[in-house]
Structure 1
Amino acid sequence: MIFVGGVPFSSSSQGNTLVALMEDPILVSAANSFKAIPERKFSVYEESGMDRLTKNKWVYLFQREYGTVDPAFVDFVGTDEATTCVGIVIRNKKNGMTSVSHMDSPNIVDMGLSQMLLHVVDHNMDAELDVLSVHLVGGFEDVSPNYVYSSTRSESQEQLDGHSFPLCAKIVEALFTRPENFHVQTLFVLGHNTRRDSEGNAYPIFHGLVVETSTGLVTPACFDRTSRCPDEIVRKIRVTSAYEDPSWSGKLLETYDTQTDQFRIASCCWSFRQKYISLTLQSLSDSEILLRCSTSPSAEAPDFVDNLRRKWEYLIEHPDWRETFPRKQPRVFERTGDGGWKRC
């Protein structure tokens, strides 16, 4: 069930809960306030205008990953690089347990929410007694603002929905029908998260978020390459491999161990064919890569193509996945004294 402003939310928009929520005065006001917050920039190293993460304990999530953190162990948890994806925060106000995910498809929403809630909900008590704060940030108007969504759309109409709206609609629908009580506090998606240039082209205002675990404060955020760790490239490859692995169908990827404060990157396989695919893609121009590899080519961050090229370079240099995961063992990273990560 969804609550807004402390009371149960009921949709009056012909059953379209997302549209009704987007128009709710409380959430519109919250979105306007969120838009006015300066974006926090995170780095491991000291840089002008950046928040230095060293000596803070943080957890970073990539696309299709999730992590649930205990405020006793972690100061910040966040994600970025989202265009048509959505970052979701679910936090238990009673104990501070906070789960963040980076959802990229309606197909992973139902199971993904169950995974996120596993360590957030107190299973020894009535679920209705938990006060679960929810924040959604991401997605933008990747279709015409004049386009009207219909719940009775045909297959041909579905192709016009874009990527952001179906994902946001599925998330809201799942929250609305689950038994837990979700107090939606931020709904910074779609039109709220869209800016347009002089030619009317749409772009996301923010690509990410961060949660301060001690307070539950959620702010817009971006992370540089040094703070998207540990094991950045291998985790990006694992996201791609998960689409071909039936054991991960409908699920978010588990990387962070809540109870031990460790990253455990489970093994994944890729074929030698990936080397040749990577060689082919590496030969393309930046503009061709954007058109082939992005759901929103004109809206990606400046480092999008470079990140893909680095991933392909790894696959070219390591075509045998067993070099990366000997004996199918996970890659385990533990916390260092300065708050960073080192491989065990």
Structure 2
Amino acid sequence: MIFVGGVPFQAEEPSSSSEGSKILIALMDHPILSAASCTFNSIPERKFSASEGATGERVAACKWVYVFQREYATVDPSLVDLAGTDETTTCVGMIIRNCKSGMTSIAHLDSPSIVDVGLSQMLTSVVDPNSDDILDVHLIGGFDDSSPQHMENTVTSRIKNKGYSFPLCAKIVEVLEKSSKKFHLQTLHVLENNTWKDSEGGAYPIFTGFLVNPSTGSVTPASFDGTSRCPDELVRMNRVTAAYEDPNWNGRLLETYDTKTDRFVIAPCKWTKRQLHIAIMLQSLSDDELLLTCSTSPSAEAPDFVENERRKLAYMIQHPDWKETFPLTQPRVFERTTSGEWKRLTN
């Protein structure tokens, strides 16, 4: 069940065929959530780096967890200072926080097909099964990528010209509303709330990421550089591609992090010969062709998108057998060092 402003939310006359869509549109028009989005919009984006903390200090003592697309992680405030994700153009970053314990789960959702099971995965370490905890929820990302001619603010037109972001957002709020858990929706910075347009009408996301402090619950817009998207960046990016054809991950978020030990435990994922052949083909494309082929929002991607895609493809080409990356089908485990870096443990 969704709560807004401390009271249960009710959309007017939802239909079974598009219940999530109508719930979403009603939430987007809610004055409390509109005001919260305006406030969030006014917060300067934090550019997070492994070499610099919130106030410019070295961050050897700062412990953060980063999740890539289709990943999730649940963090304990006694072990982790910050958690976040970015690059959510048509994806949605989701935060679920238990206000009582501070346990916080974050996810980078990229498809409606992973929302049902993904939510269950996120709740596993957040909710006490013996208590009726109210959970704070923040949704950030997923700009208005609907067709340019979509101008009317009606249910029919908004569902018809939906793009990638709208169906994902609609699925998320539908699953939250149907759940027996109590979700207090604090931030809905998605779709038009997260969109700016240039002089020619081109749409772009305002923010594509966030950082959350699990101790306080504060959420800040954020972007990450290459030093902070760690550990095991290339392997984790390739798992996103591989997961679409690996039946072990059908409908599920990718597991990355062990909450209790504060270690990254990157579960294995298989890539196929077909995916290898596709990687070779993609690597031969020009930069413009690669951008248009690999992105759901080519005009809205970060400047390093193509470079990162090429690095990811190069890894798969150089490691065609997934068993080289995951020997004996074992996860890749990383622990923090005293200097704040990640060190891989041998299997």
Q: Which amino acid aligns with 1:184?
A: L
Q: In structure 2, the residue corresponding to 1:132 is in which secondary structure?
A: strand
Runs of 4+ in 1 over 6 A off after TM superposition: 47-51
Q: 1:83 aligns with which of 58, 78, 89?
A: 89
Kept in 2: contact 1:41–1:50 (CA 8 A): no
TM-score, with length taken from structure 2: 0.92
Is 1:139 matched up with 2:142?
yes
Name 1:271's counterpart in structure 2: 272
TM-score for both structures, normalised by structure 1? 0.93
Distance in 2 between residues matched to 1:275 and 1:9, nearest whole Å: 47
Distance 1:317 1:50 in 2: 38
Q: Write the distance in 1 (CA, Å) between the matches of 2:305 and 2:58.
A: 22
Equivalent residue, structure 1, for 2:3? 3
Change over 3 Å in CA distance of 1:164–1:303 after alignment to 2: same
Tell me the equivalent position of 2:232: 231
Distance across 1 between alignment mates of 2:61 and 2:158: 52
Shift of the alpha carbon at 1:281?
Answer: 1.1
Residue in 1 that maps onto 2:19: none
Any gaps of 5 or more consecutive residues in structure 2?
Answer: 16-21
Please state how far the C-alpha of 1:199 moved relative to its aligned partner.
0.4
Alignment partners' CA distance in 2, 1:273 and 1:220: 38
Report the counterpart of residue 35 of structure 1 in structure 2: 41
CA separation of 1:219 and 1:152: change in aligned 2, threshold 3 A: closer
Secondary structure at the aligned position of 2:189 is classed as strand
Among candidates 46, 60, 63, match of residue 54 of structure 1: 60
Distance across 1 between alignment mates of 2:300 and 2:13: 30
CA distance in 2, matches of 1:48, 1:9: 35
1:287 and 2:288 aligned: yes
Distance 2:112 2:58 in 1: 34
Residue 56 and residue 292 in structure 1: after superposition, are their counterparts in 2 closer, same or farther (change >3 A)? Answer: same
Q: Kindly state the Cα deviation for residue 12 of structure 1 after the two structures are TM-superposed.
A: 2.4
The equivalent residue for 2:127 is 121
Alignment of 1:148-187 (within 5 A): 148-150=154-156, 157=160, 160-187=161-188
The residue type paired with residue 11 of structure 1 is: A
Task: Establish whether residue 99 from structure 1 lines up as the match of residue 105 from structure 2.
Answer: yes
> Could you report, residue by residue, the CA deviation over 1:187-218 in whole angstroms, capped at 9, with x for unpaired residues?
00000000001100000000001101110001
Maintained 8 Å contact 2:83/2:106:
yes
Identity %: 63
- Deviation of the 1:319 alpha carbon: 1.3
What secondary structure is seen at the aligned counterpart in 2 of 1:139? strand
2: CA distance, partners of 1:38 / 1:152:
30
Larger mean Cα displacement after TM superposition, 319-328 or 297-306:
319-328
For structure 1, the residue ranges without an aligned partner over 5 or more in a row are: none
